[in-house]
Structure 1
Amino acid sequence: MRVHIRNTSRAAVTLLLLLAASAGCSSKPPPTVEVAGGVPLVSAQSRVAAPSFSGEGLDGDHISYEDYKGHIIVLNFWASWCAPCRLEARDLNELAQETEPLSVRFLGINVRDSRDKAQAFERAFQSNYPSIFDPSGKATLGFQGQIAGYTPTTLIIDRTGRIAGIVNGAIQKETLLNSIRHVSEEAPSPLQGIP
């Protein structure tokens, strides 16, 4: 008996296997900086560049990481069927508004979902920042080895485009806020603005 898997499902399964394999093969974790009441951050000299990504937003507009360079980016991987994603949705919306004056921009990547369910989720939680619709895992693929591969996962990307922190699981509002503030107070790199 042959089982045919749709391309979308095959890509999602492949992505999950790659993420699981790379998580088990990773070397020693990078040194971290403890933030009072916050998410431990990767020390500035040990950060790695976030991969470039882009895709179609849930509203049909094109979204590109390149459009947000120079800002601190909070990147949240989520799905409508994910219970912890529902728990953190309002806090993420509030943080997006509260941290905008710090030059922080929030982006979402919706994974393993259907467009209509993802759009209903955004309406229900009145999402105030854009999300890439990524059922095939194309935008997510570049993050293999850097994220755990489950939802929700939230990354803090510094102004120079390097991954400063990762939260696996639902965020705690004050904890994430304290880490965002810490990253916003870091001295700009002399390479900032150089592609």
Structure 2
Amino acid sequence: MSAASRTPLPAAVAVAAALLLSACSSGGTSGGGGDINFILGKDGISTVEKGKRDPAPDLSGKTIDDQQLSVSSFKGKVVVLNVWGSWCAPCRAEAPNFEKVSTDLKSKGVQFVGINVADAKVTSAQAFEKSYGVSYPSLYDPSSKLMLRFKKGTLNLQAIPSTLVLDRDGKIAARSLAALSEDKLRSMIAPVLAEK
């Protein structure tokens, strides 16, 4: 094999690496198009007025611990959905914040649920949760099929981590397409939790 025929491989590896890094972004406001009533705040968190919210799609399946889980079973609670991957540096950075806020707000009717994406081996996801002490369940979605159930414009497949807050009726009330600090996460949940 000549040197000329081998040069496309490093270029292909570089493109693949760039795509992987862009899929694990710590920023971005693109929601994938579509008009779904999100209003982007100065803090990067988008919200939807109570009467204009869309219901979350059916999110059910096996967790990374091989248990059956349906997000709709948490209706009546405020649900925080966090899309993450063990390979994602911003996901690792925000994991302690999510665990702390989840623990603090559980008794107030807030349920956290993770959606683990693009981890080919469930053991990678399990090691991540063990390493960060994550106590709430995570659906295992290695091929991102659950993410594709969301209405166009709700989530961006390249924006990992992403977080959604569902109101007590299971409707999408808030969204962040970037990693969240503890303060930003609390400020994202608080208005939805305060709703009657």
Note the residue ranges of structure 2 that are not aligned, 5 or more in a row.
1-22, 24-29
Could you tell me how far 1:110 is from its partner in structure 2?
Answer: 0.4
Rounded to whole Å, the distance in 2 between the matches of 1:41 and 1:24 is 16
The aligned residue for residue 135 of structure 2 is 128
1:55 aligns with 2:64: no
Rounded to whole Å, the distance in 1 between the matches of 2:186 and 2:129 is 22
Could you tell me how far 1:25 is from its partner in structure 2?
Answer: 4.1
TM-aligned CA distance change 1:33 to 1:120, over 3 Å: closer
1:163 aligns with 2:172: yes
Rounded to whole Å, the distance in 1 between the matches of 2:180 and 2:105 is 15
Give the 5 Å matches for 1:1-195: 23-27=31-35, 30=37, 32=39, 39-113=45-119, 114-145=121-152, 146-149=154-157, 150-187=159-196
With normalisation by structure 1, the TM-score equals 0.77
4+ residue segments displaced more than 3 Å? 22-25, 31-35, 37-40
Note the residue ranges of structure 1 that are not aligned, 5 or more in a row.
1-15, 17-21, 188-195
Rounded to whole Å, the distance in 1 between the matches of 2:136 and 2:113 is 6
| SS of structure 1 residue aligned to 2:146 | helix
Contact 1:76 1:155 in 2 (8 A): yes
Cα deviation digits, residues 60-80 of structure 1 (max 9, x gap):
111111221111000000000
Larger Rg: 2
Contact 1:31 1:46 in 2 (8 A): no
**Percentage identity across aligned positions?**
36
Residue type of the partner of 1:39? I
Rounded to whole Å, the distance in 1 between the matches of 2:54 and 2:32 is 19
Provide the alpha-carbon RMSD of the alignment: 2.3
> Aligned residues, how many?
165
Residue type of the partner of 1:161? G
Contact 1:38 1:179 in 2 (8 A): no
